[in-house]
């Protein structure tokens, strides 16, 4: 097995606001309702063995208590806490006064950590769904985005950072109009943004907007998330690993098309967080970040594969009166009320 190990110091690093470094590729831990928490924890252990140091966690994934045991083992094996970069996220039902602090404390306890490197507001809504919700699930208490409510949550995030429980704070599933509102009121700017990014959904405007404001993008669904929950699948969705440009470039490099999606992400400048429970796959994900880069011409060709195809539509968070999932994403350039 030892020949599948990558030296973590070879992995490209992103520089966050304030100068801290974050690896340019990480391991996701969202099992997508398809894998057990035990499977995912075992994959985290294996991923650390092959060279991963960034692990993207969240309270709602329901597996932080098991991943925490793995982190303990990892650190006993000689990898220091400082070498690891661990994120977590506050879920939508814990945005109220005092709740964010409680949620962070629980994640710290479950993950068996003294601090979290980067803590996110998972979604910019207090709307939530039960585990394994059906595609047409609707929460009667759901409400549109409110900057007042979001700032109540964000100021608690700022306090967590000032107190040292988290090193950086970030946003997730945001839009440019919502970010502009946040910038008006925040006293600590987000260090990173988690957003859906893959060759068929490149979000060039928001990507550039984030970088222009010193916010590092982290890309989820980097290979188009074939194992995403069924509620997030529609017949119009494009499949990145079947895109003709991706397939052609994969042939030229003699690799699986998924590898090309990950290479593209790392070279473009986001930090992809692919997830797999299979050692062969996650070992190949980190290896492809350090060898056999894509040419400028190949990068350009993939730029042409953008279909503006959002896979994680978030429709379970819609409020009464919303037309469809597009209302969550402010597609007309202003916040949808």
Q: Is 122 annotated as a binding residue?
A: yes
For strand 21-23 and strand 216-220, is the pairing parallel, antiparallel, or unpaired? Answer: unpaired
185 is known as an active-site residue = no
Could you give the CA distance from residue 85 to residue 71 in angstroms, rounded to a whole number? 11
Q: In what order do the strands lie in the sheet with 192-196?
A: 27-28, 54-56, 85-90, 116-121, 166-172, 192-196, 216-220, 271-272
For residues 121, 24, 207, 274, the Cα torsion angle rounded to the nearest 10 degrees is: -70
Catalytic-role residue among 61, 119, 165, 282: 61
Output 13-17 pairs: Cβ under 8 A, ≥24 positions apart. Answer: 14/216, 14/269, 14/271, 16/118, 16/168, 16/191, 16/192, 16/216, 17/168, 17/189, 17/191, 17/214, 17/215
Chain centroid to CA 207: how far? 14
- Residues tagged in the binding site annotation for substrate: 122
What residues are annotated to the active site?
61
Annotated binding site: 122
């Amino acid at each position: 097995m030892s020949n599948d190990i990558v030296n973590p110091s070879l992995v490209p690093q992103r520089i966050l606001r304030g100068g801290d470094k974050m690896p340019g590729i990480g391991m996701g831990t969202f099992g997508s309702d398809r894998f057990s928490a035990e499977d995912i924890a075992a994959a985290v252990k294996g991923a650390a063995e092959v060279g991963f140091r960034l692990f993207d966690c969240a309270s709602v994934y329901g597996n932080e208590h098991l991943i925490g045991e793995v982190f303990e083992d990892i650190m006993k094996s000689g990898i220091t806490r400082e070498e690891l970069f661990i994120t977590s996220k506050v879920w939508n039902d814990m945005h109220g006064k005092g709740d964010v602090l409680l949620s962070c404390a629980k994640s710290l306890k479950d993950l068996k950590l003294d601090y979290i490197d980067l803590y996110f507001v998972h979604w910019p809504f207090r709307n939530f769904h039960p585990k394994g919700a059906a595609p047409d699930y609707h929460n009667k208490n759901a409400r549109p985005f409110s900057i007042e409510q979001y700032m109540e949550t964000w100021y608690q995030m700022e306090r967590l950072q000032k107190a040292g429980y988290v090193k950086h704070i970030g946003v997730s599933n945001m839009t440019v109009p919502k970010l502009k509102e946040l910038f008006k009121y925040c006293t600590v700017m987000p260090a990173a943004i988690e957003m859906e990014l893959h060759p068929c959904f490149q979000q060039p405007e928001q990507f550039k907007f984030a970088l222009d404001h010193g916010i590092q993008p982290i890309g989820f669904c980097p290979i188009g998330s074939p194992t995403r929950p069924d509620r997030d699948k529609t017949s119009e969705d494009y499949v990145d690993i079947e895109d003709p440009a991706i397939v052609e470039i994969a042939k030229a490099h003699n690799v699986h098309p998924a590898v090309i999606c990950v290479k593209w992400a790392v070279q473009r400048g986001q930090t992809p967080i692919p997830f797999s429970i299979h050692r062969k796959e996650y070992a190949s994900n980190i290896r492809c970040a350090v060898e056999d880069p894509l040419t400028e011409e190949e990068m350009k060709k993939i730029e042409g594969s953008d279909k503006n195809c959002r896979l994680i539509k978030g429709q379970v968070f819609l409020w009464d009166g919303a037309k469809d999932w597009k209302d969550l994403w402010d597609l007309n350039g202003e916040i949808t009320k």
